[in-house]
Amino acid sequence: MQQSLTIGTRGSPLALYQAYLVQRLLVEKTGMTPDQFPVKILKTSGDRLKGHLSAFGGKGLFTKELEEALVTGEIDLAVHSMKDVPTVGQDSLEITAILEREDPRDAFISKKYERLADLPKGALVGTASIRRRAQLSAMRPDIKFDLLRGNVGTRLQKLSDGVCDATFLACAGLKRLEQEHEITEIIDTDRMLPAPAQGAIGIETRKADTSATALIKPLNCKATELAITAERAFLRALDGSCRTPIAALAVWDGETMVFKGEVIAKDGSARFSNADQMPLSSTIEAYDFGYRLGEAVKQAAGPHIDWDE
């Protein structure tokens, strides 16, 4: 019997869904039992903090404790939403597999209005995403915003309680939680480009743990891996954190990658984008492609974007 591998995860309903999805896939691939892939819940800094995450350091807040548990051997693999994973990680760890991506688009949700276009002047939108705030401000400078944090259920309840007129959530999370019925309107990516890596689940392991790597690698989706690599390289070129509104989406069809990325001023007053396509087949090529596009956007944006606030 092979040794068991402990799966580390956050405790939100969506995080638990993702962890048990990985457990189920491992059971299917290996023929081992669920007991050999126990799930361990860890509380992260991002779960404990209130207010804007950017004030406390940004992206790593949802992965730091999971990675520390990996390094110490408390867990053997960590399951992450890839949009939460910093572009620079610990040298001893690696993202071993990225599962097939779910719908990367944003969902507009309202109890009062059927479409984003129906929001009246001065409507109040609840969101913690500075990307969504900036994109919506570029479209509708009259919109007002309120901080809305918490897991999917918490935010939907606050919307039902009338805290705000509308909010946005990722389609991927709603679909995984079988809450698609909550979606009022799906926003096409030509209107709101998603966050880099939105909708993708990553599995992180210790580089030295070759047995875990051998079990996890077969779960990797190459098309998703290449797309996420390019998007994260774009983010890396822009020194992206949750302090800067950055969006990107790459799609690889088996031969050619199509990419679009942008950075937006926080108030929506300026936006700089880049789009291109090229044939590629490796993660190195995907990384170089995304990074090059990111460098071009950063050079164009220059002093017009506040990078370090």
pLDDT in tens, 224-277: 999 999 999 999 999 765 678 999 999 999 999 999 999 999 999 999 999 999
Task: Indicate if 288 belongs to the active site.
Answer: no
Asked whether residue 22 is assigned to any structural domain, the reply reads yes
Q: How far is CA 160 from CA 167, 272, 279, in A?
A: 11, 35, 46
Are 17 and 177 in contact, with CB atoms under 8 Å apart? yes
State pTM to two decimals. Answer: 0.92
Q: Based on the fold, state whether residues 89 and 113 are members of the same structural domain.
A: no
Spatial separation of the C-alpha atoms in residues 94 and 100, rounded to whole Å: 18
Task: Judge whether 309 lies within some domain.
Answer: no
298 vs 150, more confident = 298
Q: Is 134 left (phi over 0), alpha (psi -120 to 50) or beta?
A: alpha
Give me the amino acid identity at 292.
Answer: R
Residue 272 has, within 13 A of its CA and on its CB side, a CA count of 20
- Strands 246-252 vs 256-264: parallel, antiparallel or unpaired: antiparallel
Which residues, at least 6 apart from 143, have a Cβ–Cβ distance to it below 8 Å? 119, 122, 123, 124, 125, 136, 137
How far apart are the C-alpha atoms of 113 and 111, rounded to whole Å? Answer: 6
Pair 29, 143 in one domain: no
Q: In the structure encoding, which two tokens stand for residue 240, read together? A: 């992206």
Distance set, CA 210 to CA 29, 35, 199 (Å): 17, 21, 27
Asked whether residue 11 falls in the same domain as residue 91, the answer is yes
Q: What are phi and psi of 203, to 5 degrees?
A: -120, 120
**What is the span of the domain harbouring residue 259?**
221-304
| Cα–Cα distance measured from residue 297 to residue 282, given in angstroms and rounded to the nearest whole number | 23
Domain membership of residue 193 (yes or no) is: no
Residues 206, 93 share a domain: yes
Do residues 158 and 41 both lie within one domain? no
Overall number of domains in the chain = 3
Give which of 107, 131, 10 is closest to 65, Cα–Cα: 10
Q: Are residues 94 and 143 in the same domain?
A: no
Report yes or no on 19 lying in a domain. Answer: yes
Tell me the mean pLDDT in the region 273-302: 96
The residues near 285 (Cβ < 8 Å, ≥ 6 apart) are none
Residue 225 shares a structural domain with residue 205:
no
Catalytically annotated residue among 35, 47, 76, 84: 84
Asked whether residue 163 falls in the same domain as residue 124, the answer is yes
% of the chain surpassing 90 pLDDT: 81
Please indicate, yes or no, whether residues 95 and 213 belong to a single structural domain of this protein: yes
pLDDT in tens, 149-203: 788 888 999 999 999 999 999 999 999 999 999 999 999 999 999 999 999 999 9
89 and 204 assigned to the same domain: yes
